[in-house]
Structure formats: structure tokens, C-alpha cells
A and B are shown apart, each in its own frame.
Chain A
């Protein structure tokens, strides 16, 4: 089975966001970067598919040199090959990412292309479906359970209040959601093995960007709340305020 997994490098989820002087991005000083948590699920699912069906797993990232860290983490988990599609600029939108990924992936004719359901930096929720559309193959997003038997795909997709049971065919694009698996921790052996795996670098095919950030700001500060300290005795006053002041009851 030819398996591709797309990975991105994102600021650690505990990052305290500061806005840079340009007011168009965050201040990267002191920020530590991790493999996008949903992509970890995608890598795990890729490895499980390889264990079951044979074949190999290629991890691909679009970005600057820094993005190699995401590929290295995928190597540590067990990915076989790594490709960095190198962006000339650090500013790229979901379309630029998707177009470059699709241009590279298309001639490889993979059976499955795995993604995280979303990246936790820009929360774009777009790349998997755009890549699938550009490749002309189906996509199931927000997948919490995946089964591929005899070329038939059955998946559960999380929706409001329940799950959709989706049937599809290969080749396919999948967006992994929490619950699909428990990602493995790299062990010493796989960490050592990762060190000798080369990352292939190729040039970007597109750099246009269809969208632009005009400004980035911190969310408006909340006026400080009314906090009561007498426990149970304050309940009726609180409920009165919810009713008469906040008008939510």
C-alpha cells in the first residue's frame, strides 16, 4: 500500500501568544514547536495501515527548513521516507499548501493520503478537503474510526450529536480526529533509526496565496468578572444577576 501522511509544525498548545511588531503574525521568540497533535494521529494511522497491508509511509511537509522537525518526528514514530516541499516565503495560506501538496502527490498515485483534521495554529480546517478536490479523489474529514478491507473504506466521521457512517472507495484522503487511535511514543531504537533517514527537499510549484492576513490582534480583554467568595450564600445573588444583569436565564 502506498501511504502518504501530511504533517505540519505548529506552536506548542501551551504557547502564550504575543503579537509581532508587524501586527500580522505572532512573535516567535520563545515559542517551542511541535508536530501538530492531529498529525500525530495521522502518522499513527499510516503506520497501522502499513503494518496491516505492507507498503511504505512517506511523510510530507510544506514549509521552510523549520518544518523538517515535523518530518523528523514522523521518522521517530516510524515513517519510511520524508519530503520537504520548500516554500520561498514563511507566509503561505491553506490554498498554497494544498496546491503544492497536491502537485507533488498526484504523480505518486497513493492509495491513501492521511492528514490531521486541522492544524492548531491557523485552525484552517481546509487542507485535507482542498487536496482531495485537487487530486480528484474522495475525502472523509474528522474521522474517529477507519477500516479498509478489500479496497473498501468504511469510516466514522464525527458530527454534531453523533457519528456518520461513511462508505467510500480507494484512493482516499482522510482527516484524523482524536479517538481514531492512540499515537505511539517513539522508542530508543526508532529514535536512533530516524537519525539516518534523509529528508528529500524539493522546490515549491506555486506561491500565489489567495488570501492575506491584514491584521492580527489579541482577543479583546474581558472586563473583570464578579467573583463571590461566600460559597453557597452567594448562589441566590448570582442567579439573580444571571437573570437580571446578564439576562441569560
Chain B
């Protein structure tokens, strides 16, 4: 019998899609290990959206109001503060006697996991792509060497913190259940001024565009596009299927595209359900960031380009001919 605390993320009073992934996996682990699952969230007005978690099998939600955390210190008006978030999660985990703490491997989750592990004296693994429970013991697998190898790992301590790679664990709905909600008493968390010595005062959205790290479909372009203006072909193809635009390092280093769009070892790691690579050779560092995508489509004029070795589908040909034809075809089939 163990206890699980799953931390889920929220945005403007709603649970993010990653929350449903985390709940689905946590419910599964809880049933396999006969554990009790508590879902934990920090946000404002979040209790009104609790029923959406119940649809994925969560039976208990504890939440902390962000405004209340803000009220606990002098620098008010912050959106995130790593130490206090880590403390809230660790304290709830202690109160619940949790031996498994699960978060999403988002920038928030990865920022918090190590701190929570120290605060709760747990072992920790970031960016897991599968979790197994055998004989009540947890093992996880995670990519290392930029995805060139997969390690199976286990904990030598009785408590473990795991972050799960986004878009890998698919949310699965359960038969309509109900959820009990409880507002946490922040007074029990022993928050002190030092928990607020580092705070996020503002978040600057790079653009209204969909971010590659969150997108379920991505169309990426590389040096084969020849000049920055030609990226409009990539954008049009992306728009036709509601995809985000990604880029290779070669075009980012040339200043054609912002670094936030770079996919690969020194860019973002993505695993969308569809990844279309246009005029990208498929250097090992690029593959490191996208080879776990579910369906990879390559367009390249060189039939020996390494990208074809990881592609599920591909067309050997000129991007300037294929991309516009593909955009038209997508529009056609999607309007039917």
C-alpha cells in the first residue's frame, strides 16, 4: 500500500492537457500498486474545473490558490516561484505519506523535480517515457545520450519523484466518476521569506503561435529551403493542418528562424504525433530531438539523406514542388 501525489499544471483556471496525461498514468500506477492517489494543483479558480480531472479517473484534488501564496510575502504579483511551489508539493506529499510523486516533464516540472526530491529525501528521474510496476516496485525508462539509448532505471530509496515526458502518455477517459476537492491550508506549509527569494514577475509570450514543445503536429524546415523567405511555404503547410513550425539548427544559426523553434539536441525535444521534416538532412543532433515522434514524414531531394532512415513516410523530391502540393492536398482532404 503506497500513496501517490500527482502535481498537475493549470492555465487561467483550467487544467492543461498535460494534467490529463499525468492523471491517466497516475491512476494506472495507483491501481497496479493499490495506492491512494491525490491530485495536487496550484492555481486560481481551479476547483471549478475539477470535474474535468474526474473524467480521467481522479477521485481527489487538493489545490492551493496562487493569490494566497502571493499574499504570503512582500514581493507580490508573481506568477511562479520555484522554492515555494516545491515546498507546497513536498509538504502535501509529506502530509499524504506519498512514496511516489509524479509531475509532467515540462519546464515547470523539470524545474521542480530535483528540489522536491531533496526536500522529501526521494530519488528522482526526469523525462520518463514509460513506468512499470512490478512487485510493488517502480521502474522507469528514460532516453539518455539524446535518445540514442534508453535506460531502465530503479530507485534505491523507498520514495521516488518522476517527471513524465509530455505527449507520450495518452490521456484515457474513464466511466464518469466524481471528485472530492479540498483547499489546502497554506498555513501548514511553513512558508518563509526565503521561499520567495526568486520569483517570476512576468511571462513574455514569444508569439501567439503554437510552441513546438507543446504541439501535437510539427512542420520543420531546414537549409534545403534555401532562404528565409521560403519559410512561408513551411508556414502554409503547417497552417493547413494546425501544426507548429520547427527548424533545424542550421537555419536558426543563420538567423532565419528564432531559437525557440529549434528542434534537436541543443533545441527542443519533441514527440508529436506527426513530424514533417522539409529540407532537413537529419543530422544526429536533429534526430535526437524528434526521433520519438510517432509518425515522421521526410521531404528531401537526396534519397540518401539520413532523415529517411527514421522516416515512416517520405518523398524524394524538391521541397519547392512538394510542399505546395502537399498543402493543397491537405486542404482538399480536410475540407471534405
Binds A, one of B21-29, B38-46, B117-125, B224-232: B117-125
Interface string of B83-127 (1 = CB under 8 A from A): 100100000000000000000001110111111011100111111
State whether A158 touches B153 (Cβ < 8 A): no
Closest to B155 in A: A211
State whether A235 touches B203 (Cβ < 8 A): no
Complex CA gap A243/B309 in Å reads 22
State whether B214 touches A37 (Cβ < 8 A): no
Complex CA gap A141/B333 in Å reads 44
Interface string of B281-321 (1 = CB under 8 A from A): 00011001001101111100001000011111111111001
State whether B107 touches A214 (Cβ < 8 A): no
The 3 closest A-B pairs by CB, nearest first: A231-B317, A138-B198, A129-B114
Interchain Cβ contacts under 8 Å between A and B, 14 examples: A16-B148, A94-B114, A126-B114, A130-B118, A157-B107, A164-B200, A178-B267, A213-B153, A219-B291, A235-B322, A235-B326, A239-B326, A242-B297, A246-B313
CB of A228 to closest CB in B, whole Å = 5
| Residues of chain B at interface, number, CB under 8 A | 96
CB of B214 to closest CB in A, whole Å = 5
Which single member of A17, A126, A179 contacts B126 (CB below 8 Å)? A126
CB of A181 to closest CB in B, whole Å = 13
- B70: chain A residues at CB < 8 Å are none
CB of B336 to closest CB in A, whole Å = 10
Most A-side CB within 10 Å, residue of B119, B145, B156, B201: B145
Asked if A26 is at the interface of the complex by the 8 Å CB criterion, the answer is yes
Chain A interface SS verdict (over half): mixed
Interface string of B184-209 (1 = CB under 8 A from A): 00000000001001111111111100
CB of A39 to closest CB in B, whole Å = 13
CB of B150 to closest CB in A, whole Å = 5
Closest to B303 in A: A229
User: Among residues 125 to 178 in chain A, which have CB atoms less than 8 Å away from a CB atom of chain B?
Assistant: 125-130, 132-134, 136-142, 144, 153, 156-169, 172, 178
State whether B311 touches A19 (Cβ < 8 A): no
Q: Which residues does A use to contact B, with CB under 8 Å?
A: 11, 13-17, 19, 26, 37, 93-95, 98, 120-130, 132-134, 136-142, 144, 153, 156-169, 172, 178-179, 208-219, 222, 225-232, 234-236, 238-243, 246, 248-249
Complex CA gap A219/B310 in Å reads 12
CB of A234 to closest CB in B, whole Å = 5
- B310: chain A residues at CB < 8 Å are 222, 225
CB of A164 to closest CB in B, whole Å = 4
State whether B265 touches A162 (Cβ < 8 A): no
State whether A211 touches B153 (Cβ < 8 A): yes
Besides the known contacts A120-B146, A163-B206, A168-B199, 10 further A-B residue pairs in the complex with CB atoms under 8 A apart: A15-B148, A123-B145, A168-B198, A211-B124, A211-B156, A225-B312, A227-B315, A230-B317, A235-B326, A242-B295
Which single member of A121, A133, A140, A231 contacts B316 (CB below 8 Å)? A231
State whether A15 touches B145 (Cβ < 8 A): yes
Which single member of A16, A17, A94, A214 contacts B152 (CB below 8 Å)? A214
Asked if B217 is at the interface of the complex by the 8 Å CB criterion, the answer is yes
State whether B111 touches A129 (Cβ < 8 A): yes
Given the known inter-chain contacts A211-B123, A249-B330, please indicate yes or no for A166 contacting B200, CB distance below 8 A.
yes
CB of A67 to closest CB in B, whole Å = 18
State whether B314 touches A227 (Cβ < 8 A): yes
Given the known inter-chain contacts A130-B118, A219-B148, please indicate yes or no for A210 contacting B295, CB distance below 8 A.
no
State whether A234 touches B315 (Cβ < 8 A): yes
Complex CA gap A123/B267 in Å reads 13
Given the known inter-chain contacts A162-B206, A232-B322, please indicate yes or no for A122 contacting B144, CB distance below 8 A.
yes
Which single member of B152, B265, B267, B316 contacts A120 (CB below 8 Å)? B265
Asked if B143 is at the interface of the complex by the 8 Å CB criterion, the answer is yes
State whether A162 touches B203 (Cβ < 8 A): yes
- B206: chain A residues at CB < 8 Å are 161-163
State whether B197 touches A168 (Cβ < 8 A): yes
- B213: chain A residues at CB < 8 Å are 160-161
CB of A10 to closest CB in B, whole Å = 9
- A238: chain B residues at CB < 8 Å are 297, 313, 315, 326
Given the known inter-chain contacts A161-B211, A219-B143, please indicate yes or no for A138 contacting B197, CB distance below 8 A.
yes
- B296: chain A residues at CB < 8 Å are 225
State whether A214 touches B266 (Cβ < 8 A): no
Given the known inter-chain contacts A123-B143, A229-B316, please indicate yes or no for A249 contacting B334, CB distance below 8 A.
yes
- A141: chain B residues at CB < 8 Å are 110-111
State whether B150 touches A218 (Cβ < 8 A): yes
Asked if B335 is at the interface of the complex by the 8 Å CB criterion, the answer is no
CB of A9 to closest CB in B, whole Å = 14
Binds A, one of B47-55, B59-67, B74-82: B74-82
CB of A133 to closest CB in B, whole Å = 4
- B333: chain A residues at CB < 8 Å are 239-240, 243, 249
Asked if B259 is at the interface of the complex by the 8 Å CB criterion, the answer is yes
State whether B149 touches A17 (Cβ < 8 A): yes
Given the known inter-chain contacts A158-B260, A165-B203, please indicate yes or no for A209 contacting B80, CB distance below 8 A.
no
